[in-house]
Structure 1
Amino acid sequence: MSQRVPQNLPFFCLFLLAFLLPCNSSTSERQKHEHKIKGMFVFGSSLVDNGNNNFIKNTIANVDFLPYGIDFPFGPSGRFTNGKNVIDLLGEHLGILSYIPPFTDPSTKGKKLVSGVNYASGGSGILDDTGAFAGNVMNLNAQIRNFESVTLPDLEVQLRSKSRESLPQFLFVVGSGGNDYSLNYFMGMVNSNVSLEEFTANLTTTFSHQLKRLYNLGARKFALMAINPNGCSPMARASSLTRDGCVQHLNRAVHLFNARLKTLVVTLRAQMPGSVLVFVNSYKVIRDIIRDPASKGFNNTGTSCCEVATINEGGTGILCKRGGSICKNRSSHVFFDGLHPTEAVNLVIANKAYASNHKAEVYPMNLKQLSEI
């Protein structure tokens, strides 16, 4: 709540008031951490994509149209939500003053690199063949190759230092894996004899190798995003005719991956000396909202805020219909479209990631503590 000052207040009172009024907390936080985290490099899929697919041809995983971005300062930007995604909100917490630019934007070069780059691509996965359904998207291996071969040489020029010296000052956020289940395993793209447990073990092993690649390039601070409870999404509920609850076999798969991901935080730190890895359990954060929405300011947990384009209409059953109808009170909805959360939910996740002291939500520390290391 702002504190208003009468215009006729004597000048000396205004001078005194300047010392008595409390400072803006977000500003003081930014100032406190402005020399801790220089920026972010972001890898993953649609939950952290901020526009890369806008510049990729032959993909159906594109959201450069309304109602996406209806609450974003610059309108539709390629973010899979109504406003800011979790990366934007984490950046605000960490004092990063500009939006992280998408890699595929031709203008992302030179001075634009100094706050980091976002490589995430909606529809992509940890495995190379995941995302074939979505078309020409960048899988996680391709994202890391782009980081190494294109960004790093330019970044060294801009920062006038070797990447191994500068990269420890950046946060590496990785949010991938959900599509490896929904657009790969459960679509029958793997051998039918491969069990869910075997698939998950292979997936996390592949993921650990990818994290080690980033480490070998100089990354030291990592935030690993859990897969969200996709079995609770409107798309999952509609396709299984389950309206009142979540699709448990989908959530079970996600839970298996998240449990292994949390374990990786411990095992990889021993294998990657000097690294710090944080597991952000967005699965639990969203499940807690769904179980008790009213206490957290939500009242719609099962349907999408926007009108979703069905398969019969040429859509995917996930994305909003271009120019379609939209709910008025978007902050009360958990899901914006058939899969992706609203900005309101992204804000809860970002706040928890940055400041929660509950190990079940963020492990082994929060990102505020990580930024102070």
Structure 2
Amino acid sequence: MLIRSSLMAPTTSQAGSLLIFLPILVLSASLTGSMGGEGPGHAASASPPGMFVFGSSLVDNGNNNFLPDAGARADYLPYGIDFPSGPSGRFSNGRNMVDALGELLKLPTRRIPPFFGPATKGPRILHGVNYASGGSGISDETRPARGRVISFNQQISNFEKTTLPQLGAQLARRERSLSEELPKYLFLVGTGGNDYLLNYFLGGSAVSVQTFTASLTSTFISQLKFSFLGTLPLQRLYGLGARKFVLVTVQPIGCVPVVREMLQPANGTCVEAMNEAALLFNTNLSSMVDLLKQQMPGSHLVYVNSYKIISDIMRSPAERGFRETNKPCCTTSGDGVLCKRGGRICDDRGSYLFFDGLHPTEAVNELIARKAYDSNLKNDVYPISVKQLAAIL
């Protein structure tokens, strides 16, 4: 599927639209709890009390709906056509990967409320909050050419300065301690793709992709170190009890419909340079799994290879129940990214890889979540599955 292609310059409007969405990195953290086990160190079941979600459009469930000048919104049909309550701000026809994973994990609240939702307060935050914003990236400088996003740094500040005190108060009313309960929650982060497209490929960066990737990885770790808990390093978060981390790779960004349409690779398939950058980032993530485990005794990190899972669909779609892997299901707007308001959509959405110019259909989101949850293949999820991770005491 991968081909070499010179990167033709897109128009300003195309560039601004393209960079809004590409979600790529998912990180979750939770602490071991007191659960009945099926043997030493494992539990019969593991359902965390809730989930806090950070990132871009792969995991955004509606925060951008509340930004009057948001550069990316999905609160109109045909988005949400297969979602129980209709358009919700999720960039898909139905559930996103976080929704599907939450169902598999049997979270108390399967639909985590958006941070900016007016009802996201009081008891509603007990089972988690979603802070994600389509268009954000690892770097504070990453943003679309037009419109506003909530940066990754600001998302984490919203958690630390607003939700954390409220959660402590809610738990205290139930005679539970924040220090004991917080580490049981999952922390998910999906971000990174916009950094490559906006800052590197479309931003005309003068540095090598290797140098850019090294800097991006360092920045990501730094933000985890300094943003979650003031000025102390990652070890402070670890010291509070976070033990379980899940890293989901960058998808094949050179294969999304809008990139192929915009850059016109020779044979109409994928742009190899972009996919090679994604693979380089993914290699860094894989190395980080082993490195951070050494630095944090007792921690457990899992690497979910969404790049490989999506590439497998492209290579053998029929074997995995798909038919169309190149075109979007919906009629896209002029920039080729978002679905056209009220536009036509395909009838067989479950057989499409992409719903719009960038985002996967619910069927793909379900597959990624399922592979992350219980695949026994090391090249799908390494070194153990999320299900096994959740069961570790």
Structure 1 length-normalised TM: 0.86
Displacement of 1:168 in angstroms is 1.9
Secondary structure at the counterpart of residue 43 of structure 1: strand
Query: Is 1:175–2:190 an aligned residue pair?
Result: yes
**Residue equivalent to 2:33:** none
Change (3 A) 1:300 1:86: same
1:272-311 map, 5 Å:
272-311=296-335
Q: Is the 8 A contact 1:234 1:338 kept in 2?
A: yes
Letter of the structure 2 residue corresponding to residue 232 of structure 1: C
Displacement of 1:132 in angstroms is 4.0
> What do residues 46-100 of structure 1 show as CA deviations (whole Å, max 9, x unaligned)?
0111111111121221111000000000100000000000000000011114211
> What do residues 124-155 of structure 1 show as CA deviations (whole Å, max 9, x unaligned)?
00000101425211121111111111111111
Q: Is the 8 A contact 2:71 2:149 kept in 1?
A: no
Aligned-pair Cα RMSD in Å: 1.7
Decide which moves more: 203-212 or 115-124.
203-212
Counterpart Cα distance in 1 of 2:144 and 2:348: 35
Letter of the structure 2 residue corresponding to residue 238 of structure 1: E
1:156-167 map, 5 Å:
156-160=168-172, 161-167=176-182
1:13-28 map, 5 Å:
none
Counterpart Cα distance in 1 of 2:378 and 2:145: 36
**Residue equivalent to 1:4:** none
Counterpart Cα distance in 2 of 1:77 and 1:119: 14
Q: Which has the higher contact order (CA 8 A, sep 6+)?
A: 2
Change (3 A) 1:292 1:262: same
Displacement of 1:211 in angstroms is 2.9
Query: Is 1:335–2:354 an aligned residue pair?
Result: yes
Runs of 4+ off more than 4 Å: none
Change (3 A) 1:132 1:258: same
Letter of the structure 2 residue corresponding to residue 227 of structure 1: V
Letter of the structure 1 residue corresponding to residue 95 of structure 2: K
Decide which moves more: 66-75 or 113-122.
113-122
Displacement of 1:115 in angstroms is 1.2
Counterpart Cα distance in 2 of 1:288 and 1:338: 19
Displacement of 1:294 in angstroms is 0.5
Counterpart Cα distance in 2 of 1:164 and 1:363: 29
Query: Is 1:203–2:226 an aligned residue pair?
Result: no
Counterpart Cα distance in 2 of 1:139 and 1:222: 21
Displacement of 1:156 in angstroms is 1.0
1:48-87 map, 5 Å:
48-87=59-98
Within the candidate set 302, 326, 347, 2:345 is matched to 326
Q: Is the 8 A contact 1:208 1:264 kept in 2?
A: no
**Residue equivalent to 1:351:** 370
Q: Is the 8 A contact 1:54 1:78 kept in 2?
A: yes
**Residue equivalent to 2:115:** 103
**Residue equivalent to 2:202:** 187
Counterpart Cα distance in 1 of 2:332 and 2:276: 26
Secondary structure at the counterpart of residue 133 of structure 1: coil
Q: How many residue pairs are counted as aligned between the two chains?
A: 335
Counterpart Cα distance in 2 of 1:82 and 1:237: 21
Decide which moves more: 357-366 or 158-167.
158-167
**Residue equivalent to 1:21:** none
Which structure shows the bigger proportion of residues in helix conformation?
1
Counterpart Cα distance in 2 of 1:225 and 1:56: 27
Within the candidate set 235, 255, 258, 1:235 is matched to 258
Decide which moves more: 161-170 or 36-45.
161-170
Identity of aligned residues (%): 56
Letter of the structure 1 residue corresponding to residue 179 of structure 2: R
